[in-house]
Copies of this chain bind each other. A is one copy, B any other.
Amino acid sequence: MARVVVDVTLKPEILDPQGRAVQGALGRLGLAGVTSVRQGKQFVIELEGTLDADRRASLDELAATLLSNPVIEDFTLTVEDAG
């Protein structure tokens, strides 16, 4: 079984109001000196069999289109286990 993690983050130039809210809350709750919080999404995907080059390519394409919005988001795909 293969296991892949896709992390989706907002591009640096895109404002992240949720992250700003968390940053403010961390400060109010006693953690000083927080300069930035960015909130993203994480998908943990498990697949039958092995992750060959074809499946890896189609996963890359789906991560760029279904899982993230290329206008405002970047993604990183990490193969934790190729099966």
Copies of this chain per assembly: 2
> What 0/1 readout, one digit per residue, does chain A (27-51) give for beta carbons within 8 Å of chain B?
0011101111111111111111100
A34 to chain B, nearest CB (A): 5
Asked if residues B46 and A34 are in contact (CB atoms below 8 Å), the reply is yes
> Is A72 interfacial (CB-CB < 8 Å)?
no
Chain B residue numbers with a CB within 8 Å of A79 are none
Asked if residues B37 and A45 are in contact (CB atoms below 8 Å), the reply is yes
Chain B residue numbers with a CB within 8 Å of A45 are 26, 34, 36-37
Chain A interface residues (CB < 8 Å from chain B) = 1, 7, 9, 19, 22, 25-26, 29-31, 33-49, 55, 58-59, 62, 66-67
